[in-house]
Structure 1
């Protein structure tokens, strides 16, 4: 068995096992949706980071950094600032929402059933698109490792996620997020080292040559006030800095024991995501 197959199979098996174990601790809809709100700050931070850094980010960050260089890296980095804004500005004002089962429930209590229904509909549309990207990347990995067809790999990856999240609710999702956090925390540096070594003895010279000769990484050209792309990049930075309070992020806020814990979790998560 190859190391790739062993690692991926172990990750999938752990996800299913944790989902089954977590299901025994769920007795009502509140425990299913937000647990008992007894998550520690590191746990809440880890699930925030894993929620923020999904399969889509791994895919398009590599592609667009290659295509656009600094023009993409700066707006992408600015996106993590939105987590800091939530932690520093919004979280202190969201104490009344702690313990709510969903953002739709909160919107319904404030604005009525019609707004609640609209929130549900657009929440579904948003998350279906998000899950589709994750399933697509996951199926590609399964296809490469197991040699299965793309269709079967997509169905398999979707079934695994649906089973453990359906059985265990937020506890299962949180535990698998922690596994994901440590898995990628270990593997990303390893992959970076392997890729660096694959470039050969002249790896440093090749990278330095790219950074000094490519117009995409020429910071003087990028920040030239006569460069129209500079203003496009700044507009994208502002756009990406707008806080995202979708159903998944709102749920992480609602899971917190206190406003202070939510603030700390978002601040730490924002800093880690910025480094990533």
Structure 2
């Protein structure tokens, strides 16, 4: 039976190719004897800009993006489309912050940056929240793998593919570190970018309409009229405010790519390109949802993926599975790596705060963390097999807590705010408290989530605590550093040089 199962054969070939590539990079890693922890965590910090762009996109766009995004586009319409494009603004925000990241470019994680400014207790809190978030994201990716296999290859037990795929990404994340993850991200993201246009073409043919016919059909539907996208009403305001909370989220795995960059200018260039390409990717995903709606506007949300796959040739189904597997694996391996750094670097250093000698088993602990976090994520998936419930817990709760707690201290630190651990802890506690009160009594009434107001409360509480309470000497706002001035000057020279070339 398996010999004649084309999608399964295609998936197995893809997994074998991923394993071979990951192990090959791992052997190079060992052969060069670059087994120091810094090399494992950051590589050589000499990645090409385009390589970093691909790995950021592969990390940010997990398998759940398509699994949840397409049904939501179908069901909600233009207001959800606005929120998707607004999500790309978060990359633009990181691009701007990148120019000021000079003092922190030697760090390994967002937790270390927080700790360098506010002390070990805020660093510990940030690391713990980042670890919990990473476990939740990996569990979502494992769940997506299983759900995809059930939909596309329903004649086999999904564990036949899900378990090996999870073990494969754990294996190369353990052995090869961030370089193996980066190289496999390129392969996995390439499969998505090649296959998504094929899916769009298939669904377009399935509508049995011309391009103009598709547009005219959507114009007749109120939920997909472009006028709704700019109609300022209460519903539109809710979408905007909720989207603001989304793009203020600093994904720990994505932020880790800042520290992999060679300079603040490279960070700026990488995330400018990521912002553009993320808009294109969202456009492709939105196109799939719109074409499904045009093909059958009366589908229940739970039947959308069944409609997509029902008449699809076996080879196309194999491509869809490979695409989703690539998206899930590229996100999961980055989260595993981020959690490993936060355990072996941030947690260990806060425990050994006053010890000058390096921890000799740091690399071994990082590799063990990858294994443990992967297994914990698999257990969480078994305990909560419902993808939408799991996503609601991770994106609705864990992401909110991390965003509310970490965003304000990080942004203030990048912009030159220096204060004590007490100040940061007061801000974090205020943000969480305001978020709980808002979620309990305000959000049910107005439908706006707590992220924006809680982030603002966190930042304002930090600034108030800093000026109302006594602080150690040397704290406060620092001026714009010479490095940042040099970065701005180099950017102006680069733009001027580029303009002169265009004129020639």
TM-score (norm 1): 0.90
Within a 5 Å distance, the mapping from 1:185-264 to structure 2 comes to 185-200=193-208, 202=209, 204=211, 207-225=214-232, 227-242=233-248, 244-264=249-269
- CA offsets per residue over residues 108-130 of structure 1, 9 Å max, x none? 33322222221121001111221
Report the CA distance between 1:2 and its aligned residue.
5.7
Report the CA distance between 1:219 and its aligned residue.
2.6
Q: CA separation in 2, counterparts of 1:41 and 1:205? A: 38
- CA offsets per residue over residues 223-243 of structure 1, 9 Å max, x none? 333x3211112212322332x
1:23 aligns with 2:29: no
1:265 aligned partner: 270
1:122 aligned partner: 129
Within a 5 Å distance, the mapping from 1:98-113 to structure 2 comes to 98-113=105-120
1:93 aligns with 2:126: no
Q: Say if 2:58 and 2:185, in contact at 8 Å, map to a contact too.
A: yes
Within a 5 Å distance, the mapping from 1:48-59 to structure 2 comes to 48-59=56-67
Report the CA distance between 1:206 and its aligned residue.
5.6
Moved more, 179-188 or 156-165: 156-165
Gaps of 5+ in 1: none
Within a 5 Å distance, the mapping from 1:140-155 to structure 2 comes to 140-143=147-150, 144-145=152-153, 147-155=155-163
- CA offsets per residue over residues 150-185 of structure 1, 9 Å max, x none? 455443332122111111111111111111221111
Aligned length: 272
2:357 aligned partner: none
- CA offsets per residue over residues 58-105 of structure 1, 9 Å max, x none? 111101100111010011101111101211x20001122223222223
Q: CA separation in 2, counterparts of 1:79 and 1:221? A: 19
Q: CA separation in 2, counterparts of 1:114 and 1:18? A: 40
Give the 3 Å change call, closer, same or farther, for CA 3–80 of structure 1 in structure 2.
farther
Q: Say if 1:37 and 1:99, in contact at 8 Å, map to a contact too.
A: no
Q: CA separation in 2, counterparts of 1:182 and 1:12? A: 14
Report the CA distance between 1:205 and its aligned residue.
6.3
Gaps of 5+ in 2: 282-504
Moved more, 10-19 or 247-256: 10-19
Query: What SS does the aligned partner of 1:93 have?
Result: coil
Moved more, 265-274 or 127-136: 127-136
Q: CA separation in 2, counterparts of 1:166 and 1:11? A: 20
2:473 aligned partner: none
TM-score (norm 2): 0.51
Within a 5 Å distance, the mapping from 1:35-50 to structure 2 comes to 35-50=43-58
1:160 aligns with 2:163: no
Report the CA distance between 1:17 and its aligned residue.
1.6
Moved more, 67-76 or 157-166: 157-166
Q: Greater relative contact order (Cα 8 A, min sep 6): structure 1 or 2?
A: 1
1:81 aligns with 2:84: no
